């Protein structure tokens, strides 16, 4: 046998093991093998998968439920493994069998997979293979197959011939009239979906009668599903046809004998209200809603009460106030005294929403007594829900009207025996603070907030520290240093170590809002003192706190106080303390400072000697940097070199030093230690030395001892992106980012790229793979600085084109999201902007490479707020789908520099006429309009946004010789005039600020 055949057999051995495991008696082994079916199919090839694997799977349907569930899920993704859409029908037999098994969850997953496969069939295959499958299921003897058929008719109906459509409608009708309640229930659940694909004439002739029969079914489980379907169908009728076709049945549902049906009506009433229009709402739904508010079942009343705000808000504007006052409000007044706490709690969560609808006078006269009554309710959830919605009433009459009743309720909730109730009131404290003001808050509630820091439940103490941060952001730093920080620091002297830890948690939260001066003067000394705490948990939280607040601190403070403290903790007897101290030390890599453990005076003496002598001293020192040399001497030499990198003069001395013998040159010897030395600390200090050395934008090491074409850089890049176990990947990425930054020329960038292409052909694919894979590095390096390296490389047109020509750029879009680090977000924004510089590629970015407006959405989404709240329904429907109906908790990008970069990228795209027309067609203006209306918008961002808006809402000038703004030549006198205008605007803005 040839050696190639032997290797082939050996590579297929694991696949044979997987296939054998499919027959194994051990359920877990069979389950593991099923989950790897795609691997088996890929190894067998499409032909053997179709002819051998799929028939085998069809014969093994009788197995444990968890195995069948995994099989049903896998088959839905098997299309490409059986030869693509032309052969997708071979997957139907096993799924048909799975859709008939007794276990519901398996059937549902099989139906889900069949629904995925249906659109992948051609029209011919759909009628030849898929529809017969549906028919067999619908006509099966067991109810299990018939329930599965109910979910499949709608997905194939639209694409089959009229004759087959008639057969499918008859099948669905038969299922709706089935003797088994489970089948009727399944059909009722899919009736609304089926109605959306059926032709209007059949909707009126056939489906309405089916809905009526199901809505009057003897089983309440069928009726309640029919009601949901009816509400979905109501939106498909014209308002004038609705009364005749469906309203009588829907009205009857509000008075159904089963409370479960009435509950569904109450829960879906607002959806029905939007579907039927204002006239039917006034005549039918308002009386029905009042009836539901008075329902004898508490669950129905609670569901109806929870819809109060939305229902009233959707009433016709011209008669809204009159309807609420005359019909709805009397029912609400009765519910305030309801005997059921869940009803009162549901009402309290929405009743405040009536204030903006009724106005100040009606609120004071009719609603205020209800609010005051609920603030005194016996149940804490009712009081808490009222307090949580105070912003509604504050807009109408001001919260001071409630202050006398608020305080007793707040104090009582703050000391409630249930810790979740206490947690709830803490979360609403910043809201109350903003509405009551600092003076009132200090007098009445400040001591309450501080008392939560010593609560016996950790969740309360944690929430209390976050609460302090939000209060400081509202009331300012002066308030913090006079009211909050002294009481926080006092906890550091408490005998209970848990409260000393709470002190550290509070400093974690307060560092950023309090700023550098207050943090260094008032809080940092307390943290340093707690580093000597006898309890290890306190000490490692000191390390975590320093790790958290170090970006706020001055570089000199980091060197003099923070790093010595962390170095001391890194030698702690407790392993956890060591771990967190070392982690904090690594995170401070950005500061060009030494990380040695020697005495500062000793380092300074050596540094002065070296700085005053010539480079001979450095050459002599470099002789100790041998991977095989003595560890103690080598470490001392490295620490000495690190101390020199702390100053610009020292870095200049190191870079300018030269040696006629390359083997003795300093930088190459240090670079050898990074890969060849056996001691981890030496490898790290060597990297740290080069990072500090390359942090100066005025000097470069590339023109001296380590050229850009050195194999060292390729080896370092390979370690960072190919070795998932590399412990110093973040430091390596930082070094690569430094050497490709401002001190490098574009020619050197291209030379570096060509060198990589020649000696490491897959480098670009590996880099994108490593960066875009979360937790790629198994040593907990986040690889954020890979994005900074990629930004630097996109100075080259070759790299920009490579990003555009593959799916690489698409994999970076998600990192503009707020959940990622600022380094990633900022770097990806720069990459997207750099790709926009090539105006000849604008159409490729927008129309050719990406679907569903992905590129423009990656730029706009970080700037977008909650579009569901900010834009009208019509405006939401007109913008790209990824921007539609963003939820209320959607946050805009917080960093102003990143905002500006994204806006500049959009402005570059506007240079091309086709892209301008595209942006107008996507109504991007709506999102930018809301972004521009922010009260705290940065001046530069606002000006750039205005320029984009002016372009988008303006008319095209057809007299221009070119469609590309970047090709226009602006006369020098006009350019100077525009620059003067910009300067004046900036000066006026500075004066205003």
Nearest to 792 by CA among 735, 848, 839, 846: 735
Closest CA to 500 of 521, 527, 473, 522: 527
Sign of torsion over alpha carbons 384, 385, 389, 394: negative
Last residue in a domain, options 348, 364, 384: 348
Average pLDDT over residues 928-948: 89
C-alpha dihedral sign at 555, 556, 561, 564: positive
Judged by average pLDDT, the poorest of 436-450, 459-473, 549-563 is 436-450
* CA distance linking residue 617 with residue 571, whole number of Å: 32
Instruction: Tell me the mean pLDDT in the region 762-772.
Output: 90
Give the integer Cα–Cα distance in Å for 703 and 747: 13
Q: Is the pLDDT of residue 145 over 80?
A: yes
> Tokens in use for 490?
């006092």
Supply the CATH number for residue 309's domain: 1.25.10.10
Output 105-110 pairs: Cβ under 8 A, ≥24 positions apart.
105/65, 105/69, 106/65, 106/68, 106/69, 106/72, 107/144, 107/147, 107/148, 109/69, 109/72, 109/73, 110/72, 110/75, 110/148
Phi, psi of 964 (to 5 degrees): -110, 115
Residue 525 φ/ψ region, left for φ over 0, alpha for ψ in the -120 to 50 degree band, beta for the rest: alpha
- pLDDT-wise least confident of 539-553, 601-615, 779-793, 878-892: 601-615
- Please tell me which residue, 818 or 73, carries the higher pLDDT value: 73
The pLDDT, as a whole number, for residue 600 is: 43
Of 327, 348, 369, the residue at which a domain comes to its end is 348
Looking at the structure, do residues 877 and 905 belong to the same domain, yes or no? yes
**Domain C-terminal end among 817, 837, 857:** 837
How long a stretch of residues is the chain? 993
User: Which backbone phi and psi does 912 adopt, to 5 degrees?
Assistant: -100, 130
Are 804 and 909 in the same domain? no
Name the 3-class secondary structure at 956: coil
pLDDT tens column, 162-205 = 898 888 989 989 998 888 889 998 999 888 888 888 888 888 88
**Domain for residue 801, yes or no?**
yes
- Check residue 216 and give its pLDDT: 87
pTM of the model: 0.48
Q: What is the pLDDT of residue 39?
A: 77
pLDDT band (50, 70, 90) for residue 6: very low
CB 468 within 8 A of CB 509: yes
- For residues 600 and 710, the model is more confident at 710
Question: What mean pLDDT comes out for the span 594-601?
Answer: 39
Residue 780 resides in a domain? yes
In a domain, 803, yes or no: yes
Residue 874 has pLDDT above 70, yes or no: yes
> 302 lies in which domain range?
254-348
Instruction: Say if residue 804 is in the same domain as residue 886.
Output: no
517, 559 Cβ separation under 8 angstroms: no
Check whether 586 has a pLDDT greater than 60. yes
> Are 825 and 842 in a shared domain?
no
Query: Does residue 323 belong to any structural domain of this protein?
Result: yes
Q: Say yes or no: 758 and 846 in one domain.
A: no
Q: Distance of alpha carbon 872 from its chain centroid, rounded?
A: 24
Please state, in angstroms and rounded to a whole number, the distance separating the CA atoms of residues 387 and 431.
Answer: 9
pLDDT above 70 coverage of the chain, percent: 84
819 and 881 in a single domain? The answer is no
> What is the pLDDT, as a whole number, of residue 299?
92
pLDDT at 662 (0 to 100) = 56
Residue 645, Cβ density class (10 Å: 0-12 exposed, 13-18 middle, ≥19 buried): buried
Beta-carbon count within 10 A of 80 CB:
14
* Closest to 796 measured CA to CA, from 756, 747, 844: 747
Q: Which three-class secondary structure state does DSSP give residue 661?
A: coil
Residue 111 has a pLDDT of 92
Residue 489 lies in a domain: no
Confidence of residue 405 (pLDDT cuts 50, 70, 90): low
- Average pLDDT in the 937-958 region? 83
Of residues 673 and 603, the one with the higher pLDDT is 673
Q: Would the pLDDT of 974 be above 60?
A: no
Cα-Cα-Cα-Cα dihedral of 364, 368, 370, 376, to 10°? -160
Helix (H) or strand (E) holding 154: helix 153-157
pLDDT at residue 531, as a whole number: 86
Please tell me whether residues 632 and 772 are part of one structural domain.
yes
Q: Provide the pLDDT for residue 605.
A: 42
SS3 assignment for 262-304? HHHHHHHHHHHHHHHCHHHHHHHHHHHHHHHHCCCCHHHHHHH
Longest CA span, the chain: 101
Same domain? For 829 and 843 the reply is no
Give the residue-averaged pLDDT of 595-605: 40
Q: Which residue has the tokens 């409260």?
A: 499
pLDDT recorded at residue 336: 87
Strand partners, 579: none
- pLDDT of 5 strictly over 50: no
Secondary structure (H, E, C), 462-476: HHHHHHHHHHHHHHC
- At 94-137, the pLDDT tens digits run 898 888 888 889 989 999 999 999 988 888 888 889 999 999 99
- Do residue 703 and residue 749 come from a single domain? yes
Residues 844 and 812 in one domain: no
Domain count, the chain: 3
To which residue do tokens 């014209």 refer? 238
C-alpha distances in angstroms, 713 versus 113, 558, 732, 753, 797?
48, 30, 10, 11, 21
* Rounded distance between C-alpha atoms, residue 266 and residue 277, angstroms: 17
Please give the Cα distance from 447 to 425 (Å, whole number).
Answer: 14
pLDDT at 61 over 70: no
CA distance 640 to 255: 87
Q: Would you state the pLDDT for residue 82?
A: 85
Whether the per-residue pLDDT at 961 is higher than 70: the answer is no
Give the three-state DSSP class for 964: strand
Same domain, 660 and 769: yes
Tokens at residue 899, please? Answer: 């905002």
Other Cβ atoms less than 10 A from the Cβ of 972: the count is 8
pLDDT computed for residue 980 by the predictor = 66
Q: Does 330 share its domain with 261?
A: yes
Can you tell me the mean pLDDT for 363-388? Answer: 79
The reply to whether 968 falls in a domain is no
Is 911 inside a domain boundary?
Answer: yes
**Mean pLDDT of the region 25-37:** 74
Q: Which residues of 153-170 are buried (b: 16+ CB within 10 A; e: fewer)?
A: bbbbbebbeeebbeebbe
pLDDT at 40 over 50: yes
How far apart CA 437 and CA 479 sit, in angstroms, is 12
Determine, yes or no, domain membership for 896: yes
């Amino acid at each position: 046998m040839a050696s190639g055949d032997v290797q082939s057999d050996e590579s297929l051995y694991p696949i044979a093991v997987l296939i054998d495991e499919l027959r194994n008696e051990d359920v877990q082994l069979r389950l593991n093998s099923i989950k790897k079916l795609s691997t088996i199919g890929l190894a067998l090839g499409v032909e053997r998968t179709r002819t051998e694997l799929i028939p085998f799977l069809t014969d093994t349907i009788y197995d444990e439920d968890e195995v069948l569930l995994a099989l049903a899920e896998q088959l839905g993704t098997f299309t490409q493994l059986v030869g693509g859409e032309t052969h997708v029908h071979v997957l139907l037999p096993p799924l048909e069998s799975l859709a008939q098994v007794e276990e519901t969850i398996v059937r549902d997953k099989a139906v889900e997979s069949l629904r995925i496969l249906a659109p992948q069939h051609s029209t011919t295959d759909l009628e030849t293979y898929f529809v017969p499958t549906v028919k067999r299921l619908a006509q099966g003897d067991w109810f299990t197959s018939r329930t599965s058929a109910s979910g499949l008719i709608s997905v194939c109906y639209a694409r089959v011939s009229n004759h087959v459509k008639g057969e499918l409608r008859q099948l669905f009708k038969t299922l709706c009239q089935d003797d088994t309640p489970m089948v009727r229930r399944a059909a009722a659940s899919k009736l609304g979906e089926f109605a959306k694909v059926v032709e209007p004439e059949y909707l009126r002739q056939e489906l309405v009668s089916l809905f009526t029969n199901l809505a009057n079914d003897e089983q309440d489980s069928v009726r309640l599903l029919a009601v949901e379907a009816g509400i979905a169908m109501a939106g498909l009728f014209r308002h004038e046809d609705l009364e005749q076709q469906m309203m009588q049945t829907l009205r009857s549902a509000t008075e159904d004998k089963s409370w479960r049906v009435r509950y569904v009506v109450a829960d879906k009433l607002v959806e029905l209200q939007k579907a039927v229009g204002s006239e039917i709402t006034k005549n039918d739904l308002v009386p029905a809603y009042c009836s539901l508010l008075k329902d004898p079942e508490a669950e129905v009343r609670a569901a109806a009460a929870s819809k109060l705000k939305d229902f009233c808000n959707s009433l016709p504007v011209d008669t809204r106030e009159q309807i609420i006052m005359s019909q709805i409000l009397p029912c609400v007044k009765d519910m305030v005294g309801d005997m059921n706490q869940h009803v009162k709690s549901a009402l309290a969560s929405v009743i405040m929403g009536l204030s903006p609808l009724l106005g100040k006078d009606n609120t004071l006269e009719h609603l205020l007594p209800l609010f005051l009554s609920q603030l005194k309710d016996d149940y804490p959830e009712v009081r808490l829900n009222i307090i949580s919605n105070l912003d509604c009433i504050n807009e109408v009459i001001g919260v001071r009207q409630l202050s006398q009743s608020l305080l007793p309720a707040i104090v009582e909730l703050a000391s409630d025996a249930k810790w979740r109730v206490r947690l709830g009131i803490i979360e609403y404290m910043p809201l109350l603070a903003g509405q009551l003001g600092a003076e009132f808050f200090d007098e009445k509630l400040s001591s309450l907030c501080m008392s939560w820091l010593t609560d016996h439940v950790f969740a309360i103490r944690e929430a209390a520290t976050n609460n302090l941060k939000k209060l400081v952001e509202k009331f300012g730093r002066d308030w913090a240093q006079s009211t909050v920080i002294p009481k926080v620091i006092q906890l550091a002297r408490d005998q209970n170590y848990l409260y000393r830890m709470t002190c550290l948690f509070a400093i974690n939260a307060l560092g950023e809002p309090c700023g550098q001066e207050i943090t260094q003067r008032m809080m940092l000394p307390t943290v340093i003192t707690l580093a000597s705490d006898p309890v290890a948990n306190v000490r490692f939280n000191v390390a975590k706190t320093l790790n958290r607040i170090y970006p706020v601190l001055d570089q000199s403070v980091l060197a003099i106080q923070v790093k010595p403290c962390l170095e001391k903790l890194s030698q702690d007897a407790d392993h956890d303390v060591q771990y967190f101290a070392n982690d904090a030390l690594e995170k401070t890599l950005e500061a060009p400072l030494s990380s040695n453990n020697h005495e500062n005076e000793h380092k300074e003496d050596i540094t002065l000697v070296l700085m005053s002598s010539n480079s001979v001293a450095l050459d002599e020192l470099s002789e100790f940097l041998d991977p095989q040399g003595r560890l103690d001497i080598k470490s001392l030499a490295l620490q000495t070199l690190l101390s020199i990198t702390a100053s610009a003069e020292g870095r200049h001395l190191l870079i300018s030093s030269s040696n006629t013998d390359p083997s003795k040159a300093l930088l190459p010897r240090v670079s050898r230690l990074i890969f060849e030395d056996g001691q981890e600390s030496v490898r790290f200090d060597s990297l740290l030395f080069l990072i500090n050395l390359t942090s100066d934008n005025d000097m470069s090491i590339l023109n001296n001892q380590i050229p850009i074409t050195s194999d060292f850089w390729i080896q370092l890049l390979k370690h960072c992106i190919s070795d998932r176990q590399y412990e110093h990947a973040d430091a390596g990425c930082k070094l690569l980012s430094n050497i490709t930054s401002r001190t490098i020329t574009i020619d050197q960038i291209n030379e570096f790229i060509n060198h990589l292409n020649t000696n490491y052909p897959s480098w670009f694919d590996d880099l994108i793979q490593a960066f875009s894979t979360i937790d790629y590095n198994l040593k907990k390096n986040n690889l954020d600085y890979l994005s900074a390296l990629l930004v630097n490389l996109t100075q080259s047109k070759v790299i920009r084109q490579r990003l555009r020509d593959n799916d690489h750029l698409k994999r970076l879009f998600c990192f503009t999201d707020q959940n990622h680090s600022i380094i990633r977000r900022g770097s990806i924004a720069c990459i997207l902007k750099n790709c926009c510089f090539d105006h000849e590629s604008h159409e490729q970015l927008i129309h050719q490479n990406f679907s569903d407006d992905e590129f423009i959405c990656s730029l706009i989404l970080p700037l977008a707020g909650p579009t569901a709240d900010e834009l009208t329904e019509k405006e939401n429907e007109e913008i790209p789908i990824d921007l539609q109906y963003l939820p209320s908790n959607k946050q805009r990008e917080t960093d102003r520099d990143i905002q500006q970069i994204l806006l500049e990228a959009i402005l570059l795209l506007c240079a091309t006429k086709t892209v301008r027309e595209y942006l107008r067609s996507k109504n991007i203006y709506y999102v930018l309009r809301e972004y521009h209306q922010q009260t705290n918008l940065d001046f530069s961002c606002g000006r750039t946004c205005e320029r984009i808006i002016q372009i988008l809402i303006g008319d095209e000038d057809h007299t221009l010789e070119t469609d590309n703004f970047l090709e226009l030549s602006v006369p020098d006198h006009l350019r100077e005039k525009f620059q003067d205008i910009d300067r004046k605007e900036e000066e006026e803005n500075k004066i205003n600020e």
